[in-house]
Amino acid sequence: MSPETLRKRREALRAAGEVLRRRPAGATLDSLCRVLDAWRNPESMWRKQLADALPVATGFSPETVREGLRIGLENWTGASLHSLVDRELPGGTTGFETTALLLAGSIPMPSLIQIIAPLLLSSPVLAKCASRDPVTPGLAARSIGETDRELGDCIAAVEFPSSDEDCVAELLACECIVATGSDATVAAVRRRTASGRRLVEHGHRLSLAALGPAACHGGILSDVAGRLALDVALWDQLGCLSPIAVYAVGEHAADAVTDALANAFEDLVEKLPRGRVEPAAAALFAHERAEAEFRASSGSVRLRAGPSDAWAVVREQAPSARPAPLHRFVRVFPVEDAAALPAAMAPYAGHLAGVAIEGFARETKPLSDALVELGASRICAPGSLQAPPIDWNRDGRGVLRLLARRPRAQAAV
C-alpha cells in the first residue's frame, strides 16, 4: 500500500465520519450489538470464516482456535455492549474525527473490541492489521458493513510493513491513535505522534497464577491444574492473559503443582494441539528447557517436559524473574505463605495483566487488593483468565473513555 492510497482512505473515512455523527448514537450501538451477537454464534458465517482462516494465518491449531473463540466470545453479548456504553459514555459523548489502530498479536478478541470501540463514539477507524493476524480486522469490517452500510464505510483495514515510515506517518495523521504492542513499539509511536493528537497506549502485559494451601492437594489440585493448563494452552500462551508462572503456597506444594500441571498438559496434547512455533521462539524454548535440565541434574530444580517440547513445567527453587519462552512453558515457584506473594510478584509490577488465584480462603480479599496494587486488572479463578468480559478494564482506564473527546448535541433516538 502506498502513502497516497492510505491518505485517500483516511480522507474517505473523515467524510464518512461526518455522516456517522449525524446519526442517532443509538442506531450505531444497535447495529454493533447485532454484529457482536453474530460473532458469538458458532454457526454464523463470520465466526466460521474466522475459525477457518486463523489457523492458516497465525499457526494456531484449529482445535485451539475453536476453543479459544468459544470461551472468549461466550459472554460478549449485545446486552453486555449496551451495559458498557451506559457505564462509560454519558449522553452526548463523542470521539475524534478519525481513530488509527495499530493492532498487535494474534488473538482476535482484542482486535475486535478495538475496532468496535471508536465506532461507538462516532469515530471512523483506520486499522493497521497486526502482522500475526491479518484476518480479524478485514472480517470485522465486512461483518459490520453487511449489517450497517454506513458503519461499514467508517472502517478501513490496511496492511503495510511497520518499516514503511511514509505509511506510518499517514496513519499517525489521524486525530486519535491507539497503539498496541511491545513497550519498544509503543515508545516508537509515542516519539512520532504529533502534539495535539490523542495517544492511547497498550504496552506489554503478562499474567501469573497463585495457588493457596487449599488448592494444592488431592482431587482439588487435579481440577485446578486442569483449568490452569487450559489458561496456558489457549492461544499457545501468547496472550497477555496467558500465565507464565505459578506461585504455590505451602511446604511441598510446588512439587505437587508441578506434577499436576504436567499431567494436565499431557492430557491437552491431543485435545488442543500446540500450533506452529517460529524458529526464534523454538530456540528459546529449547534453550530454557536444556538449562532447566542441567540444573535439575544437581537437584536444585525439577523438570517435567513433553515429547518434542510440546510443553514444559519447571519447579524452581525460589521466586525469580527468568525468561518466559511461552508456547506452554511454565515455571512453578514455591512460596512460604500468602503474605509473601506480593513481594514475590513485585518484579512484574507495571506489566501485570491478570492473576488466577484459588485456595486462599479468608486471605483471598487482602491478596486480591495487593495484586491490584501491583497493577493486576483481572483477578479470577483458574480456567477463566482467557474469558475476560467485554468491559475488562485492562489498563485501569476504561474501554471507551480514553477515546472520547467532547460532548455532542443529543441526537434523536
Quick check: pTM over 0.75?
Answer: yes
Which residues does residue 356 pair with via DSSP β-bridges, in sequence order? Answer: 209, 380
Separation in Å, CA 22 to CA 31, 222, 268, 316, 330: 15, 56, 51, 60, 52
Q: Which pLDDT score, from 0 to 100, does residue 231 have?
A: 98
| Helices (runs of H) and strands (runs of E) counted in the chain | 15, 14
**Residue 401: DSSP 8-state:** G
Q: Which pLDDT score, from 0 to 100, does residue 397 have?
A: 81
- Alpha-carbon span 127 to 125, nearest angstrom: 6
Q: Which pLDDT score, from 0 to 100, does residue 406 have?
A: 61
C-alpha cell at 293: 535440565
Separation in Å, CA 324 to CA 173, 214, 277, 300, 314: 36, 27, 14, 19, 11
C-alpha cell at 120: 461507538
- The domain made up of 3-204+394-407 has a fold known as Aldehyde Dehydrogenase; Chain A, domain 1 (3.40.605)
C-alpha cell at 146: 453487511
- Alpha-carbon span 161 to 142, nearest angstrom: 23
CATH 3.40.50.2300 is the classification of domain 206-380: no
Q: Which pLDDT score, from 0 to 100, does residue 413 have?
A: 34
- Alpha-carbon span 132 to 124, nearest angstrom: 23
- pLDDT tens across the length of the chain (413 residues): 899 999 999 999 999 999 999 999 899 999 999 999 999 999 999 999 999 999 999 999 999 999 999 999 999 999 999 999 999 998 778 999 999 999 999 999 999 999 999 999 999 999 999 999 999 999 999 999 999 999 999 999 999 999 999 999 999 999 999 999 999 999 999 999 999 999 999 999 999 999 999 999 988 999 999 999 999 999 999 999 999 999 999 989 999 999 999 999 999 999 999 999 999 999 999 999 999 999 999 888 999 999 999 999 999 999 998 999 999 999 999 999 999 999 999 999 989 999 999 999 999 999 999 999 999 999 999 999 999 999 998 877 889 999 998 644 443 33
Length of the chain: 413
**Nearest Cα residue to 348 out of 143, 248, 187, 208:** 208
Q: Do domains 3-204+394-407 and 206-380 have the same CATH topology?
A: no
Summarize pLDDT for 200-231 with one digit per residue, the tens: 999 999 999 999 999 999 889 999 999 999 99
Q: Which pLDDT score, from 0 to 100, does residue 387 have?
A: 97
Domains of the chain, residue spans: 3-204+394-407, 206-380
- Alpha-carbon span 25 to 122, nearest angstrom: 8
- Alpha-carbon span 264 to 67, nearest angstrom: 16
